[in-house]
Structure 1
Amino acid sequence: MARPSDTKTRIQAVARELFMEQGVQNTSLKQISDRLGITKPALYYHFESREALVRSILQPLLDDLDTFTATLAPGDARRLLEDCFELMWRHREVLVMLLHDPGTMLGLDLVERVWEWRKRLTALLLGPSPSAAARIHATVAIGGMSDCVVEHASLPFEEVRAAAVAAALAALQS
Structure 2
Amino acid sequence: MPSDTRTRIQEVARELFVSQGVQNTSLRQISDRLGITKPALYYHFASRDDLVRSIVQPMVEDIERFVATRQPGDARQLLEDYFELIWRHREVTMMMVRELSVLGYLDLGTRMFDWRRRIIALLLGPELTQAQHIRATVALGGMSDCSVEYANLPVEEVKPAAVEAAAAALGL
TM-score, structure 1 length as denominator? 0.93
**Identity rate, percent:** 65
CA distance in 2, matches of 1:157, 1:108: 28
Match of 1:36 among 34, 37, 56: 34
Counterpart CA distance in 2 for 1:119 and 1:44 is 38
Aligned partners of 2:48 and 2:106: how far apart in 1? 11
1:78 aligned partner: 76
Unaligned runs of 5+ in 2: none
Letter in 2 for 1:80: L
Query: Equivalent residue for 2:146?
Result: 148
Distance in 2, matches of 1:51 and 1:162, equals 36
CA deviation after TM superposition for structure 1 residue 125, in Å? 1.3
Distance in structure 1 (CA, Å) of the matches to 2:105 and 2:6: 23
Give distance in 1, aligned partners of 2:158 and 2:27: 35
Structure 1 portions without partners, runs of 5+: none
- Aligned with 2:15 (options 14, 17, 20): 17
The secondary structure found in structure 1 opposite 2:40 is helix
- Which 4+ runs in 1 deviate beyond 6 A? none
Of 63-72 and 95-104, more deviation after overlay is shown by 95-104
Matched, 1:166 2:167: no
AA at the equivalent of 1:14:
V
Which one is further off, 39-48 or 122-131?
Answer: 122-131
Question: In angstroms, what is the RMSD of aligned CA positions?
Answer: 1.4
Which stretch shifts more, 155-164 or 80-89?
Answer: 155-164
Higher mean alpha-carbon deviation, 163-172 vs 21-30, is at 21-30
- Name the TM-score, length of structure 2 as normaliser: 0.94
For 2:88 and 2:124, locate their aligned partners in 1 and report how far apart those are by CA, in whole Å.
Answer: 25
What letter is aligned with 1:148?
A: C
Which stretch of the first structure deviates more once superposed, 150-159 or 133-142? 150-159
- What corresponds to 2:24 in structure 1? 26
For the 8 Å contact 2:139–2:170, the answer to whether it is kept is yes
